[in-house]
Amino acid sequence: MFDLNKIRNDFPILKEKIYGKNLVYLDNAATTHKPQVVIDAIVEAYTKFNSNIHRGNHFLSEICTQKYEQARQIVQKYINAVSSKEIIFTKGATESINLVANSFASFLNKDDEVIVSAMEHHANLVPWHILSNNKGIKLKIIPMNSNFELDLTQFENLFTAKTKLVSVVHISNTLGTINPIEKIIKTAHSKAVPVLIDAAQSIQHKKIDVQKLNCDFLAFSGHKIYAETGIGVLYGKQSMLEKMSPYQGGGDMIKDVSYNSTEYADLPFKFEAGTSNYVGAYSLGKAIEYVENIGIENIELYEKELFEYAFDKLSKIEGIDIYAASKENRISSLSFNVKGVHHLDIGTMLDKFGIAIRTGTHCTQPLVNSFGQTGTVRASFAFYNTFEEIDFFIESLKKVIEMFK
């Protein structure tokens, strides 16, 4: 059962006061808060079994290793990967994408092409820009239509014999648009091109089955799905990962080392150089179990209702520009501006009401600039938000707008 009162009680920070007012946290696309079960897991790890993993043969190391590998299995099952060997722990979606970009670089030559979309986070643009500068690859962009959705006809026209990878966001962190990744993957595979999905904004909102999607890579961050910061995941098909070389070297990713050469460890360890964030992995496993206990389908349904309610309320305010033509095919993030009022001023004033929202380009500067703005106001929702909080947000926004008239 979806028990909202119980859920809110699970998140201690929601009881905090901001300027003497109840916290209304609408910046969930940036990071999510942590349930008590995750906080307890972090404390438990440091007080009960903290020890470096894989390398020790003493009791604490063996227990910590076991917890770390159990977390890998939890992730595997959550996204329905074929094997836990396909789950690489990283420090976040950014590192996961950089891992693919750097390891995939050995397959790329000058003038080879990578296709991304107009909606990408900087984490899925800058790594390819670096490759463009260093290896001379070309970046092609899937454009948007007037409804702030990807133009799939134009997407198909971007492919050439030089196209080597498609790397695209699942849900836009700025627009909340749910991209048709099933169609994107099918189109790319019909041309023998592999696909990387940035799931940083979808893993916490929707059920993801990597076998059903048939994506080649998928990246996400733990802190977006209620785990601690500094932990992330790269899923990769085993056949792809085995062909790729690691781009970081160090302890734990080797099988044999001499002064002259290195033999890499088997998957998944060859991509996990150095001391892993074993506490972060443990917290991620606990966070996923927490989400599963509530039910990701229940979460998706409730959050969709929240988004549509907020969209309808916001649409009725005079002078609001919402960067979405409709509320269909969207979830979580809602970006807008108020005519005649700077987005930063809106955010600063709403903060005085205890409302946490985000302003700026949201690490999607090319996207925001493309519709003639230097930034937007963004409200983003999680399953611990309430309809009453949205009402308060809307009424507070009206008061702020009135101040600037």
Q: Can 363 be counted among the known catalytic residues?
A: yes
Provide the token pair at 382.
């999680």
CATH topology of domain 39-293: Aspartate Aminotransferase; domain 2 (3.40.640)
DSSP summary character for residue 274:
S
Q: Which residues contact 87 (CB under 8 A, 6 or more apart)?
A: 72, 75, 76, 81, 233, 234, 235, 268
Q: Do domains 4-26+295-403 and 39-293 have the same CATH topology?
A: no
Q: What is the pLDDT of residues 274-301, one digit of tens each?
A: 999 999 999 999 999 999 999 999 999 9
Positions in the chain whose pLDDT score sits under 50 = none
Residue type, 66: Q
Among 125, 322, 363, 400, the one annotated catalytic: 363
* pLDDT for position 158: 98
Q: Where are the domains of the chain?
A: 4-26+295-403, 39-293
* pLDDT for position 98: 98
Measured on CA atoms in the order 28, 120, 72, 1, is the torsion positive or negative?
A: positive
Distance from C-alpha of 19 to C-alpha of 13, rounded to nearest angstrom: 14
Distance from C-alpha of 223 to C-alpha of 188, rounded to nearest angstrom: 30
Provide the token pair at 170.
């699942």
- Closest by alpha carbon to 330, among 117, 2, 29, 23? 29
CA distances to 28, 39, 126, 283, 284 from 34, rounded to whole Å, are 11, 7, 29, 10, 10
Show the CA angle centred on residue 49, arms to residues 48 and 52, nearest 5°.
Answer: 150
Decide: pTM greater than 0.95. Answer: yes
Distance from C-alpha of 195 to C-alpha of 184, rounded to nearest angstrom: 8
- Closest by alpha carbon to 120, among 102, 141, 90, 101? 141
* pLDDT for position 403: 95
Bridge partners (DSSP) of residue 198 are 169, 219
Provide the token pair at 391.
């009402």
Distance from C-alpha of 188 to C-alpha of 171, rounded to nearest angstrom: 18
Are the C-beta atoms of 277 and 301 separated by less than 8 Å? no
* pLDDT for position 32: 98
* pLDDT for position 1: 67
Domain with residues 4-26+295-403, CATH architecture: Alpha-Beta Complex (3.90)
